[in-house]
């Protein structure tokens, strides 16, 4: 699917909402691993403070569907009705051309689809929350979620947790500092080929 001219690898972080994957990804981006964040495309509304091209590529539903028809995505899905998320092929190529490795912060199905597309070039890490109740507390503390969106995200969590065994590594996040240290270790080993 992709030429081996690019030596880039991919690090995939997936988890139910509120498990801490975004915090861990941001921690790794500050380390000297040569990582660059893959910006996903989505059709959801831009939240206050978010930047197009930095947080997401915000597309209309029509534009997103056109990109699907043109085979511009490595993976995409309709997460909720008319709420599409996906990874543009051009985003991965852009990062590899800079000589960097790609790091993803994607939902569970997106992570599995990326792992399937890239095989051994990708390390898929599932961030395991200590409990569903911990997820609920973390989502409530965010202040960006409505009660409906929290309920929807928590409702998805049991199915997502069932898929954890399909990932290369399960990283339990009951202590954020320890989870970040473990993430550094496994990512470092994967990138150095150990």
Domain membership of residue 96 (yes or no) is: yes
Report how many domains make up the chain: 1
Residue 30: inside a domain? yes
Residue 149 lies in a domain: yes
Question: Helices in 104-146 by DSSP H: which ranges?
Answer: 108-118, 132-142
Q: Which residue has the higher pLDDT, 66 or 132?
A: 66
- 129 in a domain, yes or no? yes
Flag whether pLDDT at 93 surpasses 70: yes
Q: Is pLDDT at 3 greater than 60 in this prediction? A: no
Question: pLDDT confidence of 6, banded at 50, 70, 90?
Answer: low
Position 175 in a domain? yes
d(C-alpha 21, C-alpha 136), whole Å:
15
Q: What is the CATH number of the domain that holds 14?
A: 3.40.50.300
Residues forming beta bridges with residue 171, ordered by sequence position = 127
> Would you say residue 2 lies in a domain?
no
Write out the residue range of the structural domain in which residue 124 sits. 10-192
* pTM for the structure as a whole: 0.88
141 domain-assigned: yes
Alpha-carbon span 90 to 74, nearest angstrom: 9
Task: From 161, 109, 98, 151, select the one nearest 131 (Cα to Cα).
Answer: 161
Q: Is residue 15 part of a domain?
A: yes
Q: What is the mean pLDDT of the chain?
A: 91
């Amino acid at each position: 699917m992709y030429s081996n001219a690019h030596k880039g690898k991919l690090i995939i972080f997936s988890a139910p909402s509120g498990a801490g994957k975004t915090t861990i990804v941001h921690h790794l981006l500050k380390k000297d691993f040569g990582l660059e964040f893959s910006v996903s495309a989505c059709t959801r509304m831009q939240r206050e403070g978010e930047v197009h091209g930095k947080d997401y590529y915000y597309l209309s539903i029509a534009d997103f569907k056109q990109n699907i028809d043109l085979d511009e995505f490595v993976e995409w899905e309709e997460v909720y009705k008319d709420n599409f998320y996906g990874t543009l092929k051009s985003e991965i190529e852009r990062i590899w051309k800079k000589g960097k490795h790609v790091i993803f912060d994607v939902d569970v199905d997106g992570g599995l689809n990326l792992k399937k597309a890239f095989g051994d070039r990708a390390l898929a890490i599932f961030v395991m929350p200590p409990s569903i109740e911990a997820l609920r507390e973390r989502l409530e503390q965010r202040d960006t979620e409505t009660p409906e969106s929290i309920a929807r995200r928590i409702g998805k969590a049991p199915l997502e947790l069932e898929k954890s065994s399909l990932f290369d590594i399960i990283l339990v996040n009951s202590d954020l500092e320890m989870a970040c240290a473990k993430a550094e270790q496994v990512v470092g080993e994967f990138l150095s080929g150990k």
